[in-house]
Amino acid sequence: MSRDKLPYLLPIRSVIFVLVFVLGSEITGKELSEISNWWTIIATIVNALTIILLVRISEKNGITYWDLINCKKGASSVKQIVSISIIILVAGTGCMYLAGFICYGVIPYAPPMMIAPVTRIPAIVNFFLLPVSTALAEDGLYLGCGVNVIENKWTGIITPAFFYALQHCFIPTLFDGKYILYRFLSFLPLTIILCWYYQKKRNPIPIMVGHAIIDMMTVSLVLATSMIPEFYEKMCNM
């Protein structure tokens, strides 16, 4: 795939997540809601597929994955990384709370399935895999194939940010309008900020570090509920 065609890949993760969850539901004979707790494991698998795709596409264009996202050694300072990480944590958490209030009238609101337990071994392994793989896959796709390629300033921000937020509507996939809107509103402001910052600085490292940190917070809760079932019940009753 040539460089100018890379933005056509932006919807791919949304499509894959819908297909995986729907097929998973058919294969297991369970409702989507019954397999939604496996979203972290599914996300890591989709991340791996996305990273492989990005590496292969980069090679076909005569560049590396790191060239695709414009990653340059020594371009990031500790101050940049800390500042952007704080912005991601504050904006990410704040927007989720605001979206929860808009859609459900509750602050703070968090869908129970997002921290629902899975079996212990996958939870432990995924604690290490999910944060790093998500940063590499999502930022590689939406920044490298979107912001880095689309020439128009605002189109280059809004289009990748839209699909960046849209994919979260299907992680996990539940065909519920209010849930989909909640997930989209939770992430759109943050993805616009990230795409704007990347277009301005062309430096993915602060974004990727902050992204990994916020995902580590989520996967830590999944690990905790998987190791201590009583913790999940306590969180659901809060």
Q: Give pLDDT, residue 202.
A: 93
Which tens digit of pLDDT belongs to each residue from 180-195? 999 999 999 999 999 9
What percent of the chain has pLDDT above 70? 99
Mean pLDDT value of segment 13-41: 97
Is the predicted pLDDT of residue 1 greater than 80, yes or no?
no
Which tens digit of pLDDT belongs to each residue from 54-82? 999 999 999 999 999 999 888 889 999 99
User: CA torsion, points 224, 229, 233, 238, in degrees to nearest 10?
Assistant: -20
Burial class (CB in 10 A: 0-12, 13-18, 19+), 92: buried
Q: Give pLDDT, residue 30.
A: 97
CB 20 within 8 A of CB 109: no
Give Cα 182 distance to the centre of its chain: 15
Is the predicted pLDDT of residue 49 greater than 70, yes or no?
yes
Is the predicted pLDDT of residue 154 greater than 70, yes or no?
yes
Q: Give pLDDT, residue 164.
A: 98
Name the more confident of 205 and 230.
Answer: 205
pLDDT band at residue 238 using 50, 70 and 90 as cut-offs? low
Name the DSSP letter for residue 173: B
Mean pLDDT value of segment 44-53: 98
The rounded mean pLDDT for the chain is 94
Burial class (CB in 10 A: 0-12, 13-18, 19+), 70: middle
Residue 207, both tokens? 């974004």
Q: What are the backbone dihedrals phi and psi of residue 92, each rounded to the nearest 5 degrees, phi first?
A: -65, -50
Q: Give pLDDT, residue 87.
A: 95
- Beta-ladder partners of 170: 173
Q: Give pLDDT, residue 59.
A: 95
Name the more confident of 113 and 64.
Answer: 64
Count of domains forming the chain: 1
Its domain, for residue 97, covers 3-236
Q: Give the Cα separation of 167 and 173 in Å (integer).
A: 10
